Structure 1
């Protein structure tokens, strides 16, 4: 970005500071352009979005307010329009739609939305709103919720429990890049890489790390919601063995053992999935393309060596800690 004062290219600066939101202060890595001649600071829409997203992430986590994608998924699972669910919850007509696109709910509204993720609570809200709904709507909404409740108590319940054991957290936080983990999204990232870059397991671990942390660096959110741990071979998805076995059991990937001339073996991961481009936003596609272009010609050892230069790894390897996106993504060097 050029300085509006001197016309020269300005330096991008990232510094830790605090920003206010709803009478509180939140620590962020503040992004701005510095005009080195005038010492004036400037931002653009992209930097403003990164700065405020960091604040919103922490506020949502602190007060248990669901993220936009959660708000949308809660509504969609009941097959209810945004305007209708706003009526049921007693919001303004457009409020729910605005919450889905990123507007921050009040704490009370956020928790109310989160509560109806449970079908029995959704039924209570529908019954309490029966005076503003038609009898047909009441019947349809309650029947849908009861079917979901029954489904959650059947095989789907154990499926979700197994997923929870792999990812080891309930709500988006700084260690998931403020995203809920999604097996389908993870399998689609692997499908995106498939055919473009060789994916031995150790290398794929790094590709996923760089994809998620680069996305967070640019937007304040990860792609997959995976947590990463620092281990001797670099940053890897926490419990990655269970993750890949689950994906293999679901027939999302194949794991093929490959022998080498030196007597060693490697596990090559191949996607079984048809790539669904609509799974990804344009920003996500750009990040994934950047990862492919950076690493496709490199060996596994070269990729590991690059990851060992990241602060995300060096600051956490001694205790093999889970890596915070918020603390370390903005210091990422790998694809720059």
Structure 2
């Protein structure tokens, strides 16, 4: 049987147990609560559909039903990942909403509220990220269709002890106050193990080479992977789940070259690569706003904009400020990231292009091979 490559092979070869994101847990809790609100009974376990079609089942840890609302809770299992939210109780309280309002999100106790610009949510919104919101909307629509509901509901997500847990995250610095963010793009937590993940990257390169691939993509996550596929039409076994380990991809390709490498990732992470960091994890490298401000100046930004970039809340806010002023900060970061990659690959016949995206998957910067 042919060996599969790409992300699927890397996940299998890591040897670690996967877990579920806070977004998946919130979706499961919402599904159970809304079902109970419509039928009077909580499904336990409750099954949901993740963005890539997987259908995991979740046991309920708590439930409560009144005439006006239903609440269900799921304990997060992060698998073998050292996630600060492992074991947290994530609750969803569902109430009937006004006709025509659809799903309205509320931040309950332990879930943060956005107070600064530069995030993928508007100021004042509950810190429930776009993909979990869509997962919850889809789940509500499915339950409504099955049990004759309107789908107009208020969904309040809360996390027991979430405000305390959030002190161990970057949320306070980012202006997300009052608790945690509800996160996830695939619903699945990939276990974080440096040695296991680096080994899995190497295996991904080996499989791609064995399949005769001449072009591979190192992606920081599932959103950038989708963009790389859309731009270059790459097959699954040409996709490397690089995560934060840009150096692992580059160093292995230097010894085992493939003619073309695409590096695709979020603007903030790739700004770290641009600044010379090969490990993009937040515990070991940070977005350097001073560096971004200097790049903006090179790109023609006036001193007022340079100062705004230097004091931006996030890398995303910095690139948005520059984009509005016609300064190509995204392209400059992509080109600098490409230069860092080529420096590691010196002497190896690998052409490199870089794609920077925002959280929605919109391309905000590109750098192509010379010539």
Please report the TM-score for the alignment, with normalisation by the length of structure 1: 0.23
Name which structure has the greater RCO, CA cutoff 8 Å, separation 6+.
2
Please report the TM-score for the alignment, with normalisation by the length of structure 2: 0.21
More strand by share: 2
